[in-house]
Every structure is written in structure tokens, then in C-alpha cells.
Amino acid sequence: MNITVRVWRQKNADDKGKMVTYGVENVSEHMSFLEMLDVLNEQLTLSGDDPIAFDHDCREGICGACGVVINGQAHGPQTTTTCQLHMRSFEDGAVIDIEPWRAGAFPVVKDLVVDRSAFDRIIQAGGFISAPTGSAPEANNLPVPKEDADHAFESATCIGCGACVAACPNGSGMLFTAAKITHLGLLPQGQPERDSRVIGMIEQHDHEGFGGCTNIGECTASCPKGIPLDTISRLNRDLLGALAKGKA
């Protein structure tokens, strides 16, 4: 198949940037979306142009490095990561618009590459259990109901790709934050720091310039790992609980 792509090109953070159109020929339907970009980049390199910069690493849907907005949807038409999206999801002759995640908290570094370090700082603000190495008790001394463990796991599968922020009309990072609060808050090990965690993480979230949540639900709908929306309600419950105790 032959396709046309319109790609956001921006030399660096200070550049204004614009959409640039390229044709890509002989695309196989079995190619992944990133492999299609590889092919285009080989063409660009040979013609002496600057290849398109995009983040990617594992290419098996788990590292969370890749992620672009394809035709207005984070990670494209299927709810999966960009690396797991295949060209069979597009038609011959399609015009595909490729843009970076857009968010105030995710400044563009170059082309389709954005800076997601704000997520790391949210984790720093409380997204952990303080368990110094060597101090852990025997693992089976603390039974965890299977249902809670399974729920915690579900939230812990977040890959930190940022699709939730890119899809959210408010540029909110609430689903990412809520996934971590849910993961740790459901486990008995996570209880001692539960209040300080939610307050610290929300303060950091707001400080980073993420938007406020208006419960539209696009985050969950675009999440390649299907992090459920009720995690946000759980975050709110934890936050209200912590505030009621005067922990702010």
C-alpha cells in the first residue's frame, strides 16, 4: 500500500514547528507503525534530510517509550501502544496525521519526542512504599486477599506512556497518578503512607502543570493497558479522607 503521512516537525524546544507531508510507498500491512516510520526515515536519511525523531524502545508494548497522536487519537485507532499498531489498521492511500503528545507538562524536545520527566517527579512525591533494602519481613507473613492483589496488579500495569494526558482535553495526568495510588493503596504494605502519598502526588501533579480532571473518561478509553477509570474515584476518596484528617 501507498500512504501519505503528515508529520509534526520541530527542530528543538524553541522551534515553532509545523506539519510536513511525506509519501511512503510499498508499505506492507504487516509492518508495525514504527517500522513504517523506520522505512520513511531510511528514505529521508538517504536523501540527506533529517530523519524524524521519535521515542521507542522495547517495541513489544511494555516499556511505554513510544507514543504519538495518530489522526487525533493517542496511539492511533486501536487501544494499544504505537509499536503494536500495525499498518493493516489503515487503508491504501490513507493520509495519516502524526503529532507529538500535547501537554503543557510534556514540552516537545524534537519532532515527536516529548519530555515526560514530570511523571517521574510525581512518583518521587510519594509513589512508593518506603521499604529499605534488607528490612523486609518474610513475604508470606502478610497475606493479601487475592482480589486486592489482582486489583492492585491491574493498576500497576501502567506503563507511564502518557497517552492519558495526550488524550485528555484538559491535559490532566490524573489517571497516571490514580493508577499508582490505587496500586499501592490496595495493598496492606501501602497503608502507612496512604495519606501523605495522595497529598504529595496531587500537589506535584498540579505543580507540574497538568490540568484538572473533569471526568470525561478519554484517558481510560485511550489507555493501552486499560487502567480503569474508578482509580480516579479512589484517588479522590483517598484525597478527601486525607484532607478530612487534616493531613494537607
Which residues, numbered 112-151, are part of the site for another protein (CB under 8 A)? Answer: 113, 115-117, 119-120, 123-125, 127-140, 142-146, 149-150
Q: Which three cell numbers, joined as nine digits, stand for 81?
A: 501502544
Complex with another protein: residue 32 or 177, whichever CB lies closer: 32
Contact 102, 171 (CB under 8 A): yes
Residues β-bridged to residue 4: 23, 95
For another protein, the binding residues in 79-118 under the rule CB under 8 A are 79-80, 84, 86, 88, 97, 99, 102-106, 109-110, 113, 115-117
178 binds another protein (CB under 8 A): no
Residue 129 amino acid letter: I
Near another protein in 192-221, by CB under 8 A: 209-218, 220-221
All three cell numbers of 234: 479512589
Interaction of residue 23 with another protein, rule CB under 8 A: no
Using CB under 8 A as the binding rule, whether residue 21 contacts another protein is answered as no
Kindly state whether residue 1 participates in binding another protein, applying the rule CB under 8 A. Answer: no
Q: Is 72 in the site for another protein (CB under 8 A)?
A: yes
Among positions 233, 243, 247, 248, the unique one binding another protein when judged by CB under 8 A: 233
User: Where would I find the H helices in the chain?
Assistant: 33-46, 117-124, 146-156, 163-167, 174-185, 194-207, 218-222, 230-244
Report the alpha-carbon distance of residue 228 to residue 215 in Å, rounded. Answer: 12
Count of residues that interact with another protein, criterion CB under 8 A: 125
